Structures are given as C-alpha cells and as structure tokens.
C-alpha cells in the first residue's frame, strides 16, 4: 500500500480521477468499472473508497489486476492511499483508516457542527458531502459544503465532480453572501459569488468559461434562505401536523441568475420530523433527527439519490 499526504486541501473526485487517468497514460489499460465502494468517516472527514478491476497489455499479453484507492480530504491533513496488488478490499480499507485516524491539526476557526453525508444511487455509493458550520460572534453562521461525485458511466468511464460552497447567513437565517464553485476533473464549470447590499442581491462570476453578473430578484422581494437553516428550524418544532412552507433559495447548479421557490410540506400521518420538498425539476423527502439535522434525504431529479448522514466512530 502506498500513501501520500498533501499540504493543502484537495478535490477528492479530481484526485481519484488523476490516479486512473495517469494509469491509462503509461500503459494500455482497460478498466472494468470504476466506482465508489464505500464511504466512511474518520476524524470528522469522509473517506471515499474507489476501485476497479482492469486489464493491462504487457509484452504481448493481457494481464488482469485490481486497483483500490482511498482518499481522505481532511481539511488540515488530506491523504490518499493506493493498493495495486492481490488482497482483500476490507484489509485495505482497515489499513487506510488506521493511517487516516492518526492525529491531525484542528480546524480553525473551530466549527460548531460537522456532518458527513453519503450519497448513493440504487444502493451504490456515488460520493459524499461534508457540511461545516462556524458561528460568528454576531450570531451569524458560515456554512461550508464540500461535495465529491464519482458515478460510473459504463465501459470503465466515470463522472468525477467536485463542488464547494461557502454561505454566510445572519441570525435569522437570511443569506448575506456566498461563493459556489464546481469542477469536473480540472475543468471549472462555474465560479459564482452572491452578495446582499441594502436588501438587494447581486451575483457575479463565470459559468462555462463566460462572465456573468446581474441583480438577482426573488419572489415578492423575499430574502433568500439557507436549506439547512430552514430544516433545523422545522426540526425544533417537532412537527406532527400537516403544514406547508414556501421559501426562496439560491441554487446556482440549477439556476444561477434567479432564485428558486422551494416548498416544504408535511401530510397528516407522515412520520414525525419527515417532510417533503419540491422545487423546479427536483423533489424529495427529508427525515430529521431530534435536533433538527437531516438524517436521511431522498432526492429525485430523473434518478433517485439517497443522502444519509454518517456517524463518526473514529474519535477526533
């Protein structure tokens, strides 16, 4: 097993894609199916395990092998481990997790909440999200989301996308500013910034390599809300009766130039703290825990993706 430590934060999906792309550059390799095998949590950061069987052409012969990769995008000590020899996948995962569990420098400023969520489609892991919340002295919150998506496409090819967003909301949950970045391998898909000045939102940045900017209008001039902040508020209510709630949110991956109306609802007889939500082109359900944090979310946008919060059993 070979492992590498990195001095700065990394894009997990891009780093994994580089491993497989570099293998293909130095030899004639055919990958069977590059896909995520599992997602774990070690020291408040996700561990994404990826692997694929392959054939490599050497000396006129086709030889078979299997490559396993584990990436741990810890904010202060990111690392990657590789194993390209016969052996059980479980043994590789245990060895990698032991390395990742060694002490690392604490995050600054210290977060009040860290959540790691596994994304899966059809019971197959396809990535993760790490959500970090830092509270300001004025009651504001800065919410940072880091996502990695690794989805097989068939024939050994796969989608590798990284996304990071940082959003600051005031004590009432109103979005004050934010930055959203998405990349596929080394290609930047968009970099967008949002600001609020005297009640007016403005966006600017680049999308598909072209500059974009303008004033962002919301329905009824309503202030933008943050999804996690809204859900936390709903969770504190211990909702058991039917209700509907409508909010305006900024979702630049779907629409970068305007806000979207997101509706939350609960029907009579639904499990406690379970809600449905809808927005243009997307719907789903979310189940909250006792403190109002999302435990299990199901999203449908042509395919069904299940997002489940994982518990950190490794210690900090």
76-129 confidence digits (pLDDT tens): 999 999 998 766 778 899 899 999 998 878 888 889 999 999 999 988 999 999
Of residues 314 and 20, more confidence is placed in 20
Cis peptide before 123 (omega within 30 of 0): no
**Predicted confidence band of residue 314 (pLDDT cuts 50, 70, 90):** low
Is 298 inside a domain boundary? yes
pLDDT tens digits, 150-178: 988 877 789 999 999 999 999 888 999 99
Query: Is the pLDDT confidence value at 290 over 90?
Result: no
**Predicted confidence band of residue 217 (pLDDT cuts 50, 70, 90):** confident
What pLDDT is stored for residue 41 in this prediction? 95
**Predicted confidence band of residue 284 (pLDDT cuts 50, 70, 90):** very high
What average pLDDT does the segment 279-292 reach?
88
What average pLDDT does the segment 233-241 reach?
70
Is 228 inside a domain boundary? yes
Query: Is the pLDDT confidence value at 315 over 70?
Result: no
Long-range contacts of 78-82 (CB under 8 A, 24+ apart): 78/5, 78/6, 78/8, 78/9, 78/10, 79/3, 79/4, 79/5, 79/6, 80/3, 80/4, 80/6, 80/10, 80/15, 80/19, 81/1, 81/2, 81/3, 81/4, 82/1, 82/2, 82/3, 82/19
Question: CA 156, 161, 166 angle in degrees (round to 5)?
Answer: 165
**Predicted confidence band of residue 238 (pLDDT cuts 50, 70, 90):** low
Is 211 inside a domain boundary? yes
Q: Which helix (H) or strand (E) holds 116?
A: strand 113-121
E-strand spans in 122-256?
124-135, 141-154, 157-169, 175-184, 187-197, 200-207, 210-216, 243-249
In the chain, how many domains are there?
1
**Average pLDDT score over the chain:** 89
pTM above 0.85, yes or no: yes
Is 118 inside a domain boundary? yes
What pLDDT is stored for residue 313 in this prediction? 61
Q: For residue 32, give the 3-state DSSP assignment.
A: coil
Is 129 inside a domain boundary? yes
Query: Is the pLDDT confidence value at 316 over 60?
Result: no
Query: Is the pLDDT confidence value at 72 over 80?
Result: yes
Spatial separation of the C-alpha atoms in residues 174 and 196, rounded to whole Å: 10
Of residues 171 and 241, more confidence is placed in 171
Spatial separation of the C-alpha atoms in residues 295 and 301, rounded to whole Å: 20
**Predicted confidence band of residue 296 (pLDDT cuts 50, 70, 90):** very high
Long-range contacts of 257-265 (CB under 8 A, 24+ apart): 257/203, 257/212, 257/214, 257/216, 258/216, 258/217, 259/201, 259/216, 259/217, 259/218, 259/219, 259/224, 261/219, 262/227, 264/230, 264/231, 264/234
Is 315 inside a domain boundary? no
What pLDDT is stored for residue 266 in this prediction? 87
Query: Is the pLDDT confidence value at 236 over 90?
Result: no
Spatial separation of the C-alpha atoms in residues 97 and 280, rounded to whole Å: 40
Of residues 65 and 169, more confidence is placed in 169
Beta-strand relationship, 28-31 and 175-184 = unpaired
Query: Is the pLDDT confidence value at 240 over 70?
Result: no
**Predicted confidence band of residue 264 (pLDDT cuts 50, 70, 90):** very high
Is 316 inside a domain boundary? no
Closest of 159, 144, 139 to residue 111, by C-alpha: 144
Question: CA 48, 161, 232 angle in degrees (round to 5)?
Answer: 75
**Predicted confidence band of residue 249 (pLDDT cuts 50, 70, 90):** very high
Containing structural domain, residue 48: 2-310
């Amino acid at each position: 097993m070979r492992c590498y430590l990195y001095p700065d934060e990394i894009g997990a999906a891009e780093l994994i894609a580089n491993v497989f792309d570099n293998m293909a550059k130095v030899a004639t390799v055919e990958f069977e199916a590059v896909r995520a095998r599992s997602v774990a949590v070690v020291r408040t950061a996700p561990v994404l395990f990826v692997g694929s069987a392959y054939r490599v052409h050497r000396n006129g012969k086709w030889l078979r092998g299997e490559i396993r990769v584990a990436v741990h995008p810890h904010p202060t000590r990111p690392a990657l481990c590789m194993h390209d020899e016969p052996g059980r996948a479980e043994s590789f995962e245990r060895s990698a997790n032991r390395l990742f569990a060694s002490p690392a420098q604490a995050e600054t400023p210290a977060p009040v909440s860290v959540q790691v969520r596994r994304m899966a489609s059809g019971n197959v892991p396809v990535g993760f999200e790490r959500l970090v919340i830092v509270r300001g002295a004025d009651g504001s919150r800065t919410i940072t989301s880091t996502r990695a998506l690794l989805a097989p496409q068939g024939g050994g090819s796969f989608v590798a996308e990284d996304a990071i967003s940082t959003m600051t909301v005031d004590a009432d949950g109103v979005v004050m500013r934010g930055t959203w970045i998405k990349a596929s391998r080394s290609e930047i898909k968009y970099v967008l910034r949002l600001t609020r000045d005297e009640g007016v939102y403005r966006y600017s940045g680049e999308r598909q390599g072209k500059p974009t900017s303008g004033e962002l209008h919301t329905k009824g001039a309503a202030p933008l809300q943050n999804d996690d902040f809204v859900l936390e508020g709903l969770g504190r209510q211990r909702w058991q009766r039917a209700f509907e709630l409508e909010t305006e949110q900024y979702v630049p991956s779907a629409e970068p130039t305007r806000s979207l109306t997101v509706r939350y609802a609960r029907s009579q007889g639904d499990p406690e703290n379970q809600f449905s939500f809808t927005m243009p082109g997307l719907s789903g359900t979310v189940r909250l825990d006792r403190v109002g944090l999302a435990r299990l979310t199901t999203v449908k946008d042509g395919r069904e993706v299940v997002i489940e919060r994982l518990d950190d059993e490794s210690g900090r």
